[in-house]
């Protein structure tokens, strides 16, 4: 029981609880008590309904106490309080409504379900795990199945957001990224991006919800993710704007170039192997290791100024970046409206440079890249920084060890890994060192942002060219439902 919550009784009545007569007490601090039972309305009560002279209280209960979140120990449970008069019933119902309303929980949700993601299980997860909890919580919802890539983005761009208290994605990270890009491409983007976003894990990559749940020690499960939405707690989330000339893309998870991008994208050819394809193709890429020419330019966060060589503000390269990204003036708009990234005078920033070749460049906004990859253990949700994980050179056996330690974040302790925080970043990708006729792939949030010549499916169109990219971070731009 939370000692900070008031114990002053609001109501006290003789009632029948599941058929047994007792005295029930509701306190101003949101404690509901009878006999030897005490419920914390905020933590345990999901919702209630009135049937005749009865109030059915719907709760989630953990057999090992409130601090236990293992899915196997959490259950839904009902208690029925039967009153002797309509006046008592009305007073209890009204006060329970007021206590729950004061918690700021969502009442209306727009829900995307991606039936094609992961193991094609999103519809089943929604019907068996998400919907029953939403019904218990008296939440109204509209469900939209995604039909094709970028469908969620299209829907969100035209959605009447005033009808909803949040948008939830029963999917992997891809649909969430589409939603963010859709919101930021609206005419009213500054208001639209404030709508809280939720994720229920139902895809191949569930890095965002894994990061949110793991931050409080909860397993990455649909039950826990849905409870996080219902309880309505929120936190801010950084959004990275990736720009190339006038083209913009908004990222909330990660950007990869080199080894990680190659494994993520090229392993699709082995999709028939299921999740084992990642490990299988990682071995191929490690023992057939590629290195890439190129360079990175970045603004180190405080405490990381020793990385790279300081770059003169007057350097021609900085002038070229600034010109290409329009950062010294209002951005050139390729659409009539929409957000175009934070305004930053990049001439005044403390730029550093590192030249290749590189094995891997990996930028992360949140700790987990997937349920089994703690890519950036020190990443924070709204610190205004991206975490950079860089490998320039590494023996193959050491690289194999590094990859096996991704599950616990131990890879960043390797002497072959540089791990730092950056406030802005420029990627200048180049060709493979062993085969200059072939380039690489730039992977953003699990999707191909750019493909160079000679790469996997290089004939397919990508959003950006395999060329210089500027990345700026907008601190706390988005809002997500969070366990706390």
Q: Name every residue whose Cβ is closer than 8 Å to that of residue 90 and which is 6 or more positions away in sequence.
A: none
Longest dimension (CA), the chain: 84
Per DSSP, the three-state class of 60 is strand
- 223, 194 contact by CB (below 8 A): no
Residue 190 designated active-site: no
Rounded Cα distance between 255 and 242, Å, is 10
Q: How far is CA 457 from the centre of its chain?
A: 28
CA atoms within 13 A on the CB side of 149: 4
Identify the CA nearest to 11 among candidates 101, 79, 80, 88.
Answer: 88
Terminal alpha carbon distance of the chain: 17
Rounded Cα distance between 372 and 275, Å, is 11
Q: Which of 13, 136, 165, 173 is catalytic?
A: 173
- Helix ranges, 159-206 (H): 173-184, 189-192
- DSSP calls for 282-300: HHHHHHT---EEEEEEEEE
Tokens, residue 308: 């790279």
Helix (H) or strand (E) holding 353: strand 352-355
Q: Residue 26 burial by CB count (10 A; 0-12/13-18/19+): exposed, middle or buried?
A: buried
Q: Residue 301 burial by CB count (10 A; 0-12/13-18/19+): exposed, middle or buried?
A: middle
Indicate which residues carry an active-site annotation: 173
């Amino acid at each position: 029981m939370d000692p900070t919550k008031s114990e002053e009784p609001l109501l006290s009545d003789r009632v029948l609880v599941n058929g047994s007569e007792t005295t029930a007490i509701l306190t101003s601090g949101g404690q509901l008590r009878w006999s030897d039972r005490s419920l914390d309305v905020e933590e345990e009560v999901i919702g209630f309904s009135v049937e005749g002279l009865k109030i059915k209280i719907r709760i989630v209960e953990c057999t090992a106490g409130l601090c236990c979140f293992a899915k196997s120990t959490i259950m839904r449970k009902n208690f029925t309080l039967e009153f002797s008069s309509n006046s008592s019933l009305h007073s209890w119902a009204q006060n329970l409504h007021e206590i729950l309303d004061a918690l700021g929980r969502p009442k209306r949700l727009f829900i995307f379900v991606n039936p094609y993601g992961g193991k094609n299980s999103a519809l089943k997860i929604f019907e068996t795990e998400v919907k029953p909890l939403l019904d218990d919580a008296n939440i109204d919802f509209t469900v939209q199945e995604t039909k094709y890539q970028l469908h969620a983005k299209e829907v969100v761009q035209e959605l009447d957001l005033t009808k909803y208290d949040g948008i939830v994605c029963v999917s992997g990270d891809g649909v969430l990224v589409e939603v963010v890009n859709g919101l930021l491409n609206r005419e009213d983007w500054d208001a639209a991006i404030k709508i809280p976003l939720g994720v229920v894990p139902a895809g191949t990559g569930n890095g965002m919800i894994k990061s949110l749940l793991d931050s409080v020690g909860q397993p990455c499960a649909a039950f826990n993710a849905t409870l996080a939405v219902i309880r309505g707690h929120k936190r801010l989330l950084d959004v990275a704007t990736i720009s190339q000339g006038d083209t913009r893309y908004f990222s909330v998870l990660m950007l990869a170039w080199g080894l990680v991008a190659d494994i993520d994208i090229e392993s699709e050819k082995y999709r028939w192997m299921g999740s084992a394809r990642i490990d299988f193709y990682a071995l191929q890429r490690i023992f057939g290791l590629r290195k890439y020419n190129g360079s990175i330019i970045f603004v180190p966060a405080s405490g990381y100024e020793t990385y790279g060589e300081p770059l003169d503000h007057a350097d021609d390269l900085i002038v070229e970046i600034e010109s290409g990204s329009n950062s010294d003036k209002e951005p050139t708009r390729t659409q009539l409206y929409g957000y175009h990234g934070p305004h930053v005078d990049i001439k005044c920033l403390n730029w550093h440079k590192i030249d290749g070749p590189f094995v891997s460049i990996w930028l992360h906004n949140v700790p987990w890249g997937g349920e089994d990859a703690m890519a950036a253990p020190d990443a924070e949700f709204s610190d205004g920084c991206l975490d950079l994980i860089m490998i320039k050179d590494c023996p193959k056996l050491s690289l194999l060890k590094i990859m096996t330690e991704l599950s616990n974040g131990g890879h960043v302790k390797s002497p072959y890994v540089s791990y730092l925080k950056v406030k802005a970043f420029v990627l200048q990708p180049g060709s493979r060192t062993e085969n200059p006729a072939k380039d690489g792939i730039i992977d953003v949030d699990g999707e191909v942002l750019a493909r160079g010549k000679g790469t996997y499916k290089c004939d397919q169109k990508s959003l950006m060219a395999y060329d210089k990219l500027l990345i700026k971070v907008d601190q706390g731009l988005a809002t997500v439902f969070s366990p706390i």
